[in-house]
């Protein structure tokens, strides 16, 4: 298709500056400009209806992908995401998330890659390359400083220019060089200016980093259309526009925005939309790739006495809540609906071992999923009957459907005919619960409107319409609920009805859940099983609502009941292997009690098969830590993410994020950046350095696999950054490579360090400088396991 004309009429140009609907840009067919259809990401292609009906493939989370330290693998996962988008008719995906987990409490830490900007940028760029090679545009997010979720619409990230340039913009700089199709501006303010109006950052992206793609807002993220357009924003999402779009024509006529700026924004959107209309078919074995990627992310933190791999011919005790109820992903609008045939870790382990299972403790959901209990819709199917009533609860239903979910979310275009989120209406969800055991049940309910809970036709609870404020999307995801207690008898059905009457809003949601009565002997039974078993795997971790968009965590500790379970099971059997299903830096003060600890993050839908193959020794645990695990929470340079009374969040640690701060202070972590054990062993030879024509330095090191099995080595190079302008000396990752080495073989690892690894931002000079000091270089398998030290050539 030929490109658009150089100019549009003002009305045409204005129309292109906002989306046409929730997930599509506007089209001008007579001008040859098609609509571009988007989907949320980055762990796959999320449902545009934000519900359980649109099943898609779930990839490893960002932290898991970065834990592989494997750019080739990241590219292949990106290509699989592109094929999913193509399958479902989407030409752009919102990802990767290039923000940094500044604090381990960050609610969306699982989407991000690493605390190190170089590792984040390289893995992100590879993912972008894979997506865009598949004919789908990536949209890097969220520019910039959206590194936490608390008060994300009000929060002001306060950082100096050096911190911005050396740390938080570096991954986006790498994305720009990778030719990413779009970038998405964050909700928060940066140094007092909303990111959608951040002229300084946008000019830097355009003029210095030479980013030529589209700049778009986060959903409902434009506060002032005139200021955003003037700053350089091209596209307001979603549509129809509230601040831009057709309103941009009037802004131009009144002189608040130049017509030239509106035309420039329209040309940017038109070029983007026309460039990504030709998908590239990809033939991949998705199941094999997802299993490979999951196993490549698993970090073996410790393996005393070689307890791993396990012996498949011997019985295995599988204990813990996350074995049968794993956490595959966090709670964002980008969550993926999984196929019913996805294997849990428990079911996959049962295929390779003779398994005996005890849960030990129940999963600790904030909103326990109602469909986990035996519920039946009016049709006899599992689930709830949901009816929609225009005009009020006494009006006939205009639509009815059966749903299997605990959360109903809908936007304007998702409403059945005759309904609108912008008009008052009533939604009812009804189901029959037949308890498998008697006792006290806790029922939860909440929503964006007036919610009433009825049991067998009798009102049991009522929650009035909440005051949502500006962050409607965040309110939907937080799922704040009211609860009541109900005594039920085993086998005796009860009718549950959740009714919500809502007022006009751009999005609506109704949610509900149920917690069955506690079983007091679960931990005792788990302890007894561990004591009589030769092999024990204990799978602990988070629930899907532990990591939440719009909410940060309060601690890195596992839940207290899980910590008790670890203590009692490990005391009963000191050979216990603890598997941690959490996608952020976790408190591991309990780790000495276990024989082995395996950190598995949120590894995607192949969690079960990958875990079974790693534990049985078929695959290596290929991961290395992309984030530092501190020995205690007080050691993290940034921890509390609560803005002050002015909504300011000060980045007081500056460039000393994560491992840099601990090293600068001489504080030993529990497990350092880059740490991870495998089943193979290696010998590393002498490092050779060679200078290139553009000032880059390439290091080469022979890596010999000294074991009887194939294994993975990750070679990491750290430059010693000298003290500079009040920032103390500290190490910085300057390059890395991952390679698979056959048993007994030798391969050469090559790592290239560019001049970017040596330059520093000078506040005094107002630009990049390269300090004159000679730099020392450390090469190793983690920041704490260095096998070579030397000096970089000038």
For 539-551, the pLDDT digits (tens) are: 999 998 887 788 8
Q: If DSSP codes are grouped into helix, strand and coil, which group holds residue 267?
A: helix
Q: What is the pLDDT of residue 472?
A: 67
DSSP string, 80-129: HHHHHHHHTT-SEEEEEE----SSTT-TTGGGS--SSHHHHHHHHHHHHH
Q: Are both 424 and 480 inside the same structural domain?
A: yes
605 and 57 in contact (C-beta within 8 Å)?
Answer: yes
DSSP classification of residue 505? -
Please say which residue of 463, 496, 515 terminates a domain: 515
Mean pLDDT of 562-587: 98
pTM for this model (two decimals) = 0.96
Tell me how many domains the chain contains.
3
390, 359: one domain = no
- In terms of residue numbers, what domain contains 552? 289-364+519-622
Residue 29 belongs to a domain: no
Work out the angle at residue 47's Cα, subtended by the Cα atoms of residues 45 and 50, and round it to the nearest 5 degrees. Answer: 140
Domain final residue pick, 452, 484, 515 = 515
Q: How far is the C-alpha of 472 from the C-alpha of 468, rounded, in Å?
A: 6
177 vs 774, higher pLDDT: 177
Alpha helical stretches, state H, 504-634: 522-531, 560-572, 607-615
Q: Which of 130-139, 404-413, 416-425 has the lowest mean pLDDT?
A: 416-425
| 2 confidence band (pLDDT: 50, 70, 90) | very low
CATH number at residue 583: 3.40.50.1700
The predicted-structure confidence for 310-320, as pLDDT tens digits, reads as follows: 999 999 999 99
Residue 269 lies in a domain: no
Q: Tell me whether residue 668 is in a domain.
A: no
**Over the stretch 322-381, which tens digit does the pLDDT of each residue have?**
999 999 998 777 789 899 999 999 999 999 999 999 999 999 998 999 999 999 999 999
| pLDDT surpassing 80 at residue 412 | no
Q: 382 - beta bridge partners?
A: 376
Same domain flag for 540 and 465: no
Radius of gyration of the chain, Cα coordinates, nearest whole angstrom: 27
User: Does a structural domain hold residue 93?
Assistant: no
**Same-domain check for residues 502 and 380:** yes
Any domain includes 346: yes
Q: What is the pLDDT of residue 471?
A: 64
Active-site pick, 40, 70, 218, 552: 218
Same domain, 462 and 569: no
Region of poorest pLDDT, from 56-60, 559-563, 644-648, 757-761: 757-761
Model confidence at 506: pLDDT above 80:
no
Query: Across the chain, what does the average pLDDT equal?
Result: 94
Mean pLDDT on 701-722: 97
Q: Of the candidates 473, 491, 515, which is a domain's last residue?
A: 515
Distance CA 13, CA 271 (A): 12
640 token code pair: 């509390």
| Pairing of the two strands 760-762 and 458-463 | unpaired
Same domain as 351, residue 335: yes
Residues 507 and 528 both lie in one domain: no
Task: Identify whether residues 382 and 316 lie together within a single domain.
Answer: no
Residue 779 placed within a domain: yes
Residue 203 forms part of a structural domain: no
Percent of the chain residues past pLDDT 70, beyond the cut: 97
pLDDT value of position 251: 98
Does one domain contain both 470 and 536? no
Examine the domain organization and report whether 501 and 586 are in the same domain: no
Question: Is pLDDT above 60 for 1?
Answer: no
Give the model's confidence band at 667: pLDDT under 50 very low, under 70 low, under 90 confident, else very high. very high
Residue-wise burial string across 671-697, b where 16 or more C-beta atoms lie within 10 A, e elsewhere: bbbbbbbbbbebebeebeeeeeeeebb
Answer yes or no: do 341 and 397 share one domain.
no
Identify whether the C-beta of residue 657 lies closer than 8 Å to the C-beta of residue 115.
Answer: yes
What one-character-per-residue DSSP string does 727-776 give? BPPEEEEEEEEEEEE-TT-EEEEEEEE-GGGT-EEETTTTEEE--SSPPE
Q: Which two tokens stand for residue 77?
A: 């996962």
pLDDT, mean of residues 208-233? 97
**Is 49 inside any structural domain?**
no
Q: What is the number of other CB atoms lying within 10 angstroms of the CB of residue 200?
A: 13
Average pLDDT over residues 502-509: 81
Residue of higher predicted confidence among 409 and 402: 402
Beta strand segments in 127-232, E: 137-143, 156-158, 182-185, 189-190, 193-194, 214-217
- Shortest CA distance to 60 belongs to which of 749, 616, 626? 626
Claim to verify: residue 333 and residue 314 sit in the same structural domain: yes
User: What pLDDT score does 545 carry?
Assistant: 83
Is 218 a catalytic site residue?
Answer: yes
Q: Are 104 and 556 in contact (CB under 8 A)?
A: yes
Asked if residue 456 has pLDDT above 70, the reply is yes
> What is the CATH classification number for the domain harbouring 777?
2.60.40.10
Domain containing residue 437: CATH number: 2.60.120.380
């Amino acid at each position: 298709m030929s490109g658009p004309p150089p100019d549009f009429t003002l009305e045409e140009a204005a129309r292109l500056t906002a989306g046409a609907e929730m997930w599509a840009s506007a089209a001008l067919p007579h001008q040859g400009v098609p609509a571009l259809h988007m989907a949320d990401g980055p762990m796959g292609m999320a449902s545009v209806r934000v519900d359980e009906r649109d099943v898609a493939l779930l990839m490893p989370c960002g932290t898991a992908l970065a834990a592989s330290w494997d750019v080739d693998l990241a590219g292949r996962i990106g290509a699989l995401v592109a094929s999913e988008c193509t399958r479902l008719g989407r030409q752009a995906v919102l990802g990767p998330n290039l923000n940094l987990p500044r604090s381990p409490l960050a609610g969306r830490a699982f989407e991000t890659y690493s605390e190190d900007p170089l590792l984040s940028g390289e893995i992100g760029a590879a993912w972008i390359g894979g997506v865009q090679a598949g004919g789908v545009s990536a949209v890097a997010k969220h520019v910039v400083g959206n590194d936490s979720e608390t008060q994300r619409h009000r929060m002001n990230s306060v950082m100096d220019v050096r911190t911005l340039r050396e740390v938080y913009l570096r991954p986006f700089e790498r994305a720009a060089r990778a030719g990413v199709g779009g970038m998405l501006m964050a909700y928060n303010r940066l140094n007092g200016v909303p990111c959608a109006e951040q002229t300084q950052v946008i000019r830097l992206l355009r003029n210095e980093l030479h980013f030529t793609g589209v700049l778009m807002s986060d959903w409902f993220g434009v506060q002032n259309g005139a200021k955003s357009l003037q700053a350089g924003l091209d596209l307001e999402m979603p549509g129809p526009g509230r601040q831009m779009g057709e309103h941009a024509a009037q802004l131009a006529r009144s002189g608040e925005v130049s017509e030239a700026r509106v035309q420039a924004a329209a040309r940017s959107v038109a070029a983007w939309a026309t460039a990504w209309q030709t998908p590239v078919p990809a033939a991949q074995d998705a199941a094999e790739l997802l299993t490979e990627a999951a196993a490549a992310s698993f970090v073996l933190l410790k393996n005393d006495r070689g307890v791993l791999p396990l012996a498949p011919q011997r019985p295995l005790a599988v204990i813990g809540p996350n074995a049968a109820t794993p956490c595959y992903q966090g709670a964002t609008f980008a969550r993926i609906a999984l196929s019913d045939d996805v294997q849990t870790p428990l079911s996959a382990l049962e295929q390779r071992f003779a398994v005996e299972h005890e849960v030990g403790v129940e999963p600790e959901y904030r909103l326990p999923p109602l469909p986990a209990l035996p519920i039946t819709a009016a049709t006899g199917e599992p689930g709830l009957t949901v009816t929609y009533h225009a005009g009020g609860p006494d009006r006939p239903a205009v639509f009815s459907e059966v749903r299997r979910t605990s959360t109903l979310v809908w936007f304007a275009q998702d409403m059945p005919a005759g309904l609108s989120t912008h008009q008052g209406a009533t939604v009812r969800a009804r189901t029959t619960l037949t308890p498998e055991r008697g006792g006290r049940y806790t029922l939860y309910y909440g929503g964006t409107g007036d919610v009433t809970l009825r049991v067998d036709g009798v009102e049991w609870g009522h929650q009035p319409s909440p005051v949502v404020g500006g962050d409607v999307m965040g309110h939907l995801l937080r799922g704040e609920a009211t609860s009541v207690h109900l005594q039920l008898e085993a086998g005796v059905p009860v009718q549950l009805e959740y009714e919500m009457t809502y007022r006009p809003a751009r999005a609506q949601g109704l949610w509900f859940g149920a917690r069955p009565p506690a079983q007091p002997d679960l931990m005792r039974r788990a302890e007894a099983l561990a004591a009589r078993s030769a092999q024990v795997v204990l799978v602990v971790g988070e629930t899907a609502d532990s990591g939440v968009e719009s909410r940060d965590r309060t601690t890195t500790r596992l839940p207290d009941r899980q910590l008790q379970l670890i203590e009692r099971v490990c005391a009963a059997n000191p050979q216990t292997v603890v598997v941690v299903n959490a996608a952020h830096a976790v408190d591991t003060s309990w780790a000495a009690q276990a024989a082995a600890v395996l950190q598995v993050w949120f590894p995607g839908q192949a969690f079960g098969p990958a875990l079974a193959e790693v534990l049985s020794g078929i695959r290596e645990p290929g991961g290395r830590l992309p984030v530092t695990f501190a020995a205690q929470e007080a050691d993290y340079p940034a921890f509390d993410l609560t803005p002050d009374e002015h909504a300011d969040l000060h980045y007081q640690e500056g460039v000393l994020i994560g491992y840099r701060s601990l090293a600068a202070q001489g504080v030993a972590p529990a497990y350092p950046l880059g740490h991870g054990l495998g089943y193979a062993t290696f010998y590393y030879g002498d490092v050779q350095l060679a200078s290139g024509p553009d000032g880059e330095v390439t290091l080469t090191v022979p890596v010999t696999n000294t074991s009887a099995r194939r294994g993975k080595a990750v070679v990491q190079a750290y430059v010693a950054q000298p003290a500079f302008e009040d920032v103390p000396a500290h190490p910085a990752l300057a390059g890395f490579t991952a390679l698979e080495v056959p048993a007994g073989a030798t391969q050469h690892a090559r790592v290239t360090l560019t001049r970017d690894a040596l330059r520093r931002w000078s506040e005094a000079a107002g630009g990049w400088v390269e300090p004159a000091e000679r730099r020392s270089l450390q090469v190793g398998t983690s920041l704490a396991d260095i096998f070579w030290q030397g000096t970089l050539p000038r």
